[in-house]
Amino acid sequence: MPPPSLPGWTYTESMKRVALLGATGSIGLQAIEIVDAHPELELCAVASGSSPLDGIDAPLKQIGGDLTELLERAEPDVVLNAVVGFAGIHATLWALDNGVTLALANKESLVAAGELARGRGTIVPVDSEHSALFQCLEGRSSEHVHTLVLTGSGGPFRGRTRDELLSVTPEDALAHPTWQMGPKITIDSATLANKGLELIEAHFLFDIPYERIEVVIQPTSIVHSLVRFRDGAALAHLGYPDMRVPISYALTYPERAPTPLRPLDLTSLTLEFSPPDTETFPMLSLARAAGEKGGSAPCVYNAANEVAVAAFLAGRLSFLGIPGVVGETLAAAESDPVRDLDDLVEADRAARALADGALAAA
């Protein structure tokens, strides 16, 4: 029976077993809402890092520990990886290795894995910009594409000068203008590291060279990204900023299931676009450079950023210290080819040690 709140929904698929990793987070809780609204979706496993999973109805539950063991037992049709940070890497590679559809929110794992993940398995992106691009591309190969345009809100400090960022606090940075998200990605949005990670994520998801991926600021987050095609057409994806839309798309793909969102009211919108201020927010240029360098450099960028953001949130590093620590780590790290998961884990460990050293000196 279709849920009464979603009229007109008919099932064309049989039950889909969803393993939800990071079930207690911002994405995780919204995913549970989507699963609850669709009887053809069922949770076969849920996991968190340390928070209790009480009140979540699933046959397998795990707090901490090895996520791949849980996935082996759960036999999912789709893994929604909504873990935060490099900790999600094993689950991402497990899904790709086992031919299980990966609904990917955990962008850090794709950024770090890079070439190792490229062209393997089915990834349906959950990140709103990449979901938008995926929908505009409709599976077309990169030769049809002129440029990808990733949009970003610019975060809470858009328009500020470097001097005005000298004394911002974690509390200031956690006040995102358009999205309600977990703390790590919210800080990443304030530094533009999130857009940097997304640039690398887009490169690996869609096989487009970095020079053909542009970033544009659109402060109200209504335009979620767009594709310029080689024939002169540009397709954009619009909607209110609400992660339930890309989560629903990824979980019910290739269907388009109803969500309880109000339709977009175009007459109430003004859309403004501007280039990002890469002088004041160097994390975007650092990501581009790391992406272009390739090998383990994106993994190093991600690891150093995770260390720096944790230190900022703990009051041990200034806001402007974040790009400082990441820049120093990238300059000091070896850039090695990445052949397997062991190489990645080692690159991540070594980068964290370098970032800790840069932190101690900051």
Using CB under 5 A as the binding rule, whether residue 277 contacts Mg ion is answered as: no
Q: Determine the interface stretch with ligand NAD among 82-90, 157-165, 275-283, 347-355 (rule: CB under 6 A).
A: 82-90
| Sequence-ordered alpha helix ranges (H) in the chain | 26-37, 67-74, 89-97, 107-113, 128-137, 170-173, 183-191, 193-206, 244-252, 283-293, 297-313, 321-332, 341-361
328 binds Mg ion (CB under 5 A): no
Contact assessment for residue 291 and residue 299, using Cβ atoms and an 8 Å cutoff = no
How does DSSP classify residue 260? S
| Torsion angles phi and psi, residue 79, rounded to 5 | -105, 120
Q: Which does 259 bind (CB under 5 to 8 A by kind): Mg ion, ligand NAD, none?
A: none
Q: Which is nearer to ligand NAD, 104 or 351 (CB)?
A: 104
For ligand NAD, what does the binding mask look like between residues 233 and 262, x meaning CB under 6 A? ----------x-------------------
Nearest to 188 by CA among 333, 306, 40: 306
Q: Is 28 in the site for ligand NAD (CB under 6 A)?
A: yes
Interface with ligand NAD by CB under 6 A: which range of 20-28, 72-80, 204-212, 315-323?
20-28
* C-alpha dihedral, 77 to 30 to 183 to 201, nearest 10°: 40
Q: Segment 184-243, which members bind ligand NAD (CB under 6 A)?
A: 184-185, 243
> Half-sphere exposure (CA, 13 Å, Cβ side) for 297?
18
Q: Could you say which of ligand NAD, Mg ion, none residue 323 binds, taking C-beta under 5 to 8 angstroms by partner kind? A: none
Q: CB under 5 to 8 A by kind: which of ligand NAD, Mg ion, none does 28 bind?
A: ligand NAD
Question: Choosing among ligand NAD, Mg ion, none, which partner's interface includes residue 176 (Cβ < 5 to 8 Å by kind)?
Answer: none
| Residue from 16, 48, 134, 284 in contact with ligand NAD (CB under 6 A) | 48
- Are 103 and 79 in contact by the 8 Å Cβ rule? The answer is yes
Question: Does 108 participate in binding ligand NAD (rule CB under 6 A)?
Answer: yes
Residues 110-129 that bind Mg ion (CB under 5 A): 127-129
Q: Minimal distance in Å, beta carbon 88 to ligand NAD? A: 7
Q: Name residue 236's beta-bridge partners.
A: 226
Q: Find out whether the peptide bond into 209 is cis, omega within 30 degrees of 0.
A: no
Whether the Cβ atoms of residue 130 and residue 201 lie closer than 8 Å to each other: yes
DSSP 77: S
Residue numbers of the site for ligand NAD (CB under 6 A)?
Answer: 21-28, 47-49, 51, 67, 82-84, 87, 105-108, 127, 179, 181-182, 184-185, 243
